[in-house]
């Protein structure tokens, strides 16, 4: 469910007509719905009420300060993968003691920064990282809270670029090495074992991989308990998919029931790290039709947003719905490839889309609230675009559009 709907042929975000935002902010821009973000977070939180839990929003999905501030106000914790993301959480009013720090390449300075801010837990992805955390914690005279991220070798049945739980993945410690890794951690003076972590991938649309993964972790928890290694939490990661086209992912309550039914450890706090499932359908990308280029072979709708603004279609061949801001039906519907201005053949937002449009019209790319702006770049010396948050009948620019001068102000001529 989201709050982007047509009213009298015009597309609205909650109670705001998108044409009003375009007139003030310009094109292209991202628009987020606070009501949708709120609802998606609360649905996740309510789904796990039968067990102690933390919903730690995955900041990498959408790291705008307004998004993080809204989620923090709702009680969210956060899953971060860099010092920069942790600093964003703090700047947005989030509580660092409710932060888990994931990622395979944490730098020593990032680890020290996180320890100084008393984060809840590091999700440790290698023995080398564990040694590094021990050394830094010893130097700071603290005990570092950790969970080991274990790779269960489960196929998430998703796009290969977002599958993280196979043996071929760079993420986590191999399942067969988990016991020896926990034994090592338990003997390090400046390490405090807090939990067990796993994450098998993103955009999962079936329950079976989640269930298979938690069964493997149940076996591991039993072995750890037999060794006297106690855990406070089980971090089950994120990855629940969303509807982009015709997917039928489980709803959060169905996902939660499957997890809770197969997790016999009622005393463990569950940590859930949804990102896409909270943010994706809470945002759209607005773009203007610059030119229509039609021929006997192929029709192109050339818009002012490109792969530097929304990378998912070019990177993953991802499908996202593209709809007009106004449905006036004045034009004949034609099949177009919707392409951007970037000088790459891979620069497209959607292929073979049936659209009734004319030059100057505006389009909305739906499901753009996650992995949209955060993956944008300045390729072709294109400024990153504005972000807008809508709350009921009001809106606010929550990130100003960059200027071209911004892009080279830190450069120097020899």
Active site residues per annotation: 343
> Measuring CA to CA, which residue among 209, 199, 274, 200 is closest to residue 234?
199
Task: Confirm or deny that 57 is annotated as ligand binding.
Answer: no
Task: Confirm or deny that 401 is annotated as ligand binding.
Answer: no
Task: Confirm or deny that 176 is annotated as ligand binding.
Answer: no
Task: Confirm or deny that 107 is annotated as ligand binding.
Answer: no
Q: Is 301 left (phi over 0), alpha (psi -120 to 50) or beta?
A: beta
Task: Confirm or deny that 194 is annotated as ligand binding.
Answer: no
Task: Confirm or deny that 216 is annotated as ligand binding.
Answer: no
What are the two backbone dihedrals, phi and then psi, of residue 368, each rounded to the nearest 5 degrees?
Answer: -105, 10
Task: Confirm or deny that 362 is annotated as ligand binding.
Answer: no
Task: Confirm or deny that 23 is annotated as ligand binding.
Answer: no
Binding residues for pyridoxal 5'-phosphate: 239, 273-276, 371
Binding residues: 239, 273-276, 312, 316, 344, 371
């Amino acid at each position: 469910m989201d709050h982007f709907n047509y009213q009298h042929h015009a597309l609205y975000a909650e109670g705001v007509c998108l044409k009003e935002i375009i007139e003030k902010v310009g094109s292209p821009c991202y628009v987020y719905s606070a009501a949708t973000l709120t609802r998606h977070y609360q649905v996740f939180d309510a789904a796990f009420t039968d067990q102690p839990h933390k919903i730690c929003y995955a900041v990498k999905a959408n790291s705008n300060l307004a998004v993080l501030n809204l989620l923090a106000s709702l009680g969210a914790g956060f899953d971060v993968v860099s010092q920069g993301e942790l600093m964003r959480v703090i700047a947005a009013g989030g509580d660092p003691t409710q932060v888990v720090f994931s990622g395979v390449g944490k730098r020593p300075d990032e680890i020290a920064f996180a320890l100084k801010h008393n984060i809840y837990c590091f999700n440790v992805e290698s023995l080398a990282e564990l040694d590094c955390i021990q050394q830094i914690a010893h130097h700071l005279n603290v005990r570092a809270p950790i969970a080991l991220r274990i790779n269960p070798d489960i196929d998430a049945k998703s796009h290969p670029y977002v599958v993280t739980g196979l043996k071929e993945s760079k993420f986590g410690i191999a399942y067969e090495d988990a016991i020896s890794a926990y034994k090592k951690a338990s003997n390090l003076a400046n390490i405090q074992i807090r939990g067990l972590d796993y994450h098998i991938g993103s955009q999962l649309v079936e329950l079976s991989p989640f269930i298979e993964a938690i069964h493997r972790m149940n076996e591991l928890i039993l072995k750890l308990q037999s060794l006297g290694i106690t855990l406070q939490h089980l971090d089950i990661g994120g990855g629940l998919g969303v509807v982009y086209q015709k997917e039928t992912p489980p709803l959060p309550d169905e996902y939660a029931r499957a997890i809770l039914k197969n997790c016999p450890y009622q005393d463990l706090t569950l940590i859930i790290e949804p990102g896409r499932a909270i943010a994706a359908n809470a945002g759209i990308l607005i773009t203007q039709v610059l030119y229509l280029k039609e021929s006997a072979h192929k029709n192109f709708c050339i818009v002012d947003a490109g792969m530097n603004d929304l990378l998912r279609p070019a990177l993953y061949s991802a499908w996202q719905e593209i709809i007009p801001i106004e449905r006036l039906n004045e034009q004949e519907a034609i099949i177009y490839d919707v392409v951007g201005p970037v000088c790459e053949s891979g620069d497209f937002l959607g292929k073979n889309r049936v659209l009734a449009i004319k030059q100057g019209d505006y389009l909305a790319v739906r499901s753009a609230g996650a992995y949209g702006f955060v993956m944008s770049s300045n390729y072709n010396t294109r400024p990153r675009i504005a972000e807008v948050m809508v709350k009921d009948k009001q809106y606010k620019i929550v990130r100003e559009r960059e200027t071209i001068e911004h892009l080279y102000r830190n450069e120097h001529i020899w």
